[in-house]
Structure 1
Amino acid sequence: RYRSIIDLESHLYRNGTRIIKFFLHLSEEEQRKRFLQRMDEPEKNWKFSLADIKERKYWKEYMQAYEACLSATSTETAPWYVVPADDKKNARLIISHVIVETLKSLNMSYPTITKARQKELQSIRKRLAK
């Protein structure tokens, strides 16, 4: 399964797609607090699922599975960024920074046009300006 993920991401990279993967790491204690908040605040009740509580007993196993997955699928061309997510604002800031830096590294620019096209545009502009 991991090989398939790496193969797909490599294919996408070779075809010009940049992949950034974020793992929002929430501590067990913060998860507990958020579950309580979801139950205490009526507008957040919809977020709460009994399945989440049932799965909490497997916390260590989930962490091991996440670690194995991230280790196996993080590559130079499709890295994982493990973001501490207990503080939502800080997590968003970190993610924004990674995205901005990745976009900067692409050295994007507007396409250039030929002199003939520039001349054509000037002619069209003159006609429209009348």
Structure 2
Amino acid sequence: RLIKKTPNVDYYTTFDNFGVGVIQANSLVKGLKERFPNTKPWNVELFGGSPDDNNAFFFYNGAISVLQPLIDDGSIKIKSGQTGMDKVGTLRWLAATAQARMDNLLSANYSDGSRVDGVLSPYDGLSRGITASLRAVGYGTDAQP
């Protein structure tokens, strides 16, 4: 991680964090097309990494560069309306925080019988919490694959 506000760091080497976000979003879109070819709009919810981690913004911005055109053309619907790192960021990358937020998203936005078709999650730890929340309401079963 980038250490900010210190005179003791002269150089920082990293990888293409923006590109990682692009790959994550492309994978999500590919999965939506394969699993739900006759469904549009796809209901998608967005999760971001920790707002205190510089990398989280690059991941998110890369993903949004792919997803925003699909949101704009109506192919993807963010049913909760929650976009932007100020709303989707997950402090300290905690699975429990992601799970609690997903619980809230489901009860507030999907209790009408609509389905979550996909979730953008930039980290396996967040995905574990999100998956636990989805499984708790029946996703991943024969009735709701």
Q: TM-score, normalised by structure 1?
A: 0.36
- Larger CA Rg, structure 1 vs 2: 1
Q: TM-score, normalised by structure 2?
A: 0.33
The structure, 1 or 2, with the larger RCO (C-alpha pairs under 8 Å, 6+ apart) is 1
